[in-house]
Amino acid sequence: MKYLIVGLGNIGSEYINTRHNIGFKILDALGNASNISFEDRRLAYRAEYKFKGRTFVLIKPTTYMNLSGKAVNYWLQKEKLSVDKLLVLVDDVALPFGALRIRAKGADAGHNGLKDINLSLGHQNYARLRFGIGNDYPRGGQIKHVMGEWTDEEKASLSERVDLTIEAVKSFGTIGIASTMNQFNNR
């Protein structure tokens, strides 16, 4: 059993601690906790994580957020995986900070990374885990908020929320999307 877990984000030191890079942050935390490291491969940083007889191929696209679909499509084909084995980790301003929302499919909700994946795959029928980054910003301030760094208050509970997200990723590969949704949505 093999799964492709895609953490969305942007490459470059200026993006490392931004809210938009939560997908990268989650996979980095999983890698650090498991003593695995990412290698620079075609269109993505790639690592493999083994858990309960499953192999999780972890990728962080190097195509930048708005072109994530190219990397997702390539790695699905390279690993010979169907889209039901795909989980995309993404930030979401519509959810309160740290809230998780897992769906088996759905619209892009204005997220450019998901838009590009939908375009590349030709559909939106793949699982995604949305990590809430909140919408506490003034009118017209969404880009600054999304591309901004975590506040001290957010940092205080960020690692706990990231750890919960890692458990949801493992759950996706072991008990499936429906049970994972029941167990982790709105936690």
Please say whether the beta carbons of 63 and 100 come within 8 A.
no
Separation CA 103–CA 127 (nearest Å): 6
Per-residue pLDDT tens for 136-187? 898 999 999 999 999 999 999 999 999 999 999 999 999 999 999 999 997 8
Instruction: Identify the segments of the chain with pLDDT beneath 70.
Output: none
pLDDT at 186 (0 to 100): 77
Q: Retrieve residue 39's tokens.
A: 């290698």
The residues carrying an active-site annotation are 20
Q: What is the CATH number of domain 2-184?
A: 3.40.50.1470
pTM score over 0.85: yes
pLDDT at 40 (0 to 100): 97
pLDDT at 57 (0 to 100): 98
Separation CA 78–CA 72 (nearest Å): 10
